[in-house]
Amino acid sequence: MKFLYHILWKDHSRTHLLWAFLGTLAGFVLLLAGVQFYLDIRKVLSENQDLLDPEYIVINKKVNIGQTLGLSRVGFSAEELEEITAQPFADKVAPFLANQFPVSGYTENERFPDFSTELFFEAIPDEYIDVKSNDWKWDLDEGTIPIIIPQDYLNLYNFGFAPSQGLPQIPKGVISLINFTIRLKGSGQGNYGDYTGRIVGFSNRIHSILVPLEFLEWANETYGYFEKNDPAQVILVSKDPTDPAIIKFLEDKGYDTIREKLKSSRMNIILKFIISFLLVVATIIIGLAFLVFLLSLQLMISRSSEKIKRLNKLGYHFREISRPYIVLLGILMVGVTGLSLLITSLLTRQFSSMAAEWSLEISSSLYGIIYGMALGLIALISITNVVAILVSTKKLCK
């Protein structure tokens, strides 16, 4: 039988097969490495996110001219709230409660310059707040209102306002010692109450002046006379802030948020885009290489057509005649599978040790699905080629 191989393999074009082999190999490595790295990076992203708390995302409507002119609503209606709650990425959702009465605050302390300002308050359930403080409670009898302001406000004062006005900078610890007087005004003359306000913490999460929900509900009841507005801001908790659906939803709805918080979601979108691009390129390469393979083998067969006809005359069955081609195909396919898995796992190991330098933990061995993909694709290419070989050798046999 070795003579059969001797006869039929003589007619192959080494360059054709080499290019087909290299093309398939390149396509395979690109595809397998792409999928492997995608799985790795996705794992890293979600793992890193797990280290932190679930992401708290404060969203509001984009301010447009319509809202300025009072034509469109600033707040979220009940339906819109419901829609947000229904999103799969939103694990918990809470609207911000706002004060429905005028608030002002001022200092009466000889050590600090006098300060007087109109204020606003907002409140959300405690579980959404990143500041934990024992003072964060409302007790009517005590009459002290705990307040949380954004860390940024303090920074603005300490590093912006105070130096430019020749005022002293105030450390966090000190600011908590300063008591303010907070005046809540109800409707009608003389209907007001003075309370002591104290800053008990600084939030990095929420850009608003927060008071305990319990207090604000009580105060709205007691002093409130504004028409009740829809909440202007909504806070939602997402366990998977990498979910690209978040950004898409916000953009579709014209909602706004602090973009920084969603960078992993955005990164995920970019990553998906790059990977899909890579996969498309890999698929095209594999497709082309597959065609070259198919054509090279067909060319080989048609170059040998006289010999095949002769073998057929000698009594050779077309299956016996196609065996050398199938064996050649098999050798090349095993080569492609082995080499592409080898190269991909070397790349993976390299990538993993590089990532380790950036203290990212990435698997240094291939995922099972990579082997599955390689074998599946090889099977597909091989089967198609075997069928093509059988069909075209049979055509030459009488």
Partner 1 sequence: MTIRFEKMIPLPLLEQDTSGSKVWEADSILFEQGKRYIIEAPSGRGKTSLLSVIYGIRKDIRGEVYMENTPISGFTWKEWAHIRKTKLSYIFQGLELFDNLTGLENILLKNAITGYKTKEEITEMASRLGIEEFLHRKAGILSFGQQQRVAIVRALCQPFHYLLADECFSHIDLENSLKAYTLILEECKAQEAGLILTSLHETELPNVDERLEL
- The stretch near partner 1 (CB under 8 A) out of 52-60, 122-130, 310-318, 335-343 is 310-318
Question: Does 266 engage in binding with partner 1 (CB under 8 A)?
Answer: no
- Please list every residue from 4 through 23 that binds partner 1, using CB under 8 A: 4, 6-7, 10
Task: Rule CB under 8 A: choose which of 86, 127, 314, 359 binds partner 1.
Answer: 314
- The stretch near partner 1 (CB under 8 A) out of 2-10, 151-159, 249-257, 290-298 is 2-10
Q: Which of 368, 378, 185, 205 is nearest to 289 (CA)?
A: 378
Task: Rule CB under 8 A: choose which of 1, 52, 69, 86 binds partner 1.
Answer: 1
* Alpha-carbon gap, residue 1 to 48, rounded angstroms: 60
State which residue, 61 or 323, has the beta carbon closest to partner 1.
323
Query: Which residues lie below 8 Å from residue 220, measured CB to CB, with a gap of 6+?
Result: 97, 99, 100, 101
* Alpha-carbon gap, residue 84 to 63, rounded angstroms: 19
DSSP assignment letter at 88: T
Question: Does 263 engage in binding with partner 1 (CB under 8 A)?
Answer: no
Question: Does 398 engage in binding with partner 1 (CB under 8 A)?
Answer: yes
Question: Does 390 engage in binding with partner 1 (CB under 8 A)?
Answer: no
Question: CB of 351: closest distance to partner 1 in angstroms?
Answer: 49
Question: Does 173 engage in binding with partner 1 (CB under 8 A)?
Answer: no
Task: Rule CB under 8 A: choose which of 76, 128, 318, 351 binds partner 1.
Answer: 318
Q: Which of 365, 335, 339 is nearest to 353 (CA)?
A: 365
Task: Rule CB under 8 A: choose which of 70, 166, 173, 315 binds partner 1.
Answer: 315
Question: CB of 395: closest distance to partner 1 in angstroms?
Answer: 10
Task: Rule CB under 8 A: choose which of 320, 349, 352, 367 binds partner 1.
Answer: 320
Query: Distance of alpha carbon 299 from its chain centroid, rounded?
Result: 48
Which residues make beta-bridge pairs with 198? Answer: 146, 179
- Overall residue count recorded for the chain in this entry: 398
* Alpha-carbon gap, residue 367 to 385, rounded angstroms: 28
HEC assignment per residue over 213-241 = HHHHHHHHHHHCCCCCCCCCEEEEEECCC
Site string for partner 1, 288-307 (x = CB under 8 A): -------------------x
Tokens of residue 126, six digits: 């405690």
Q: Which of 167, 120, 130, 135 is nearest to 151 (CA)?
A: 130
Please give the residue ranges that form the binding site for partner 1 (CB under 8 A). 1, 3-4, 6-7, 10, 307, 310-318, 320, 394, 397-398
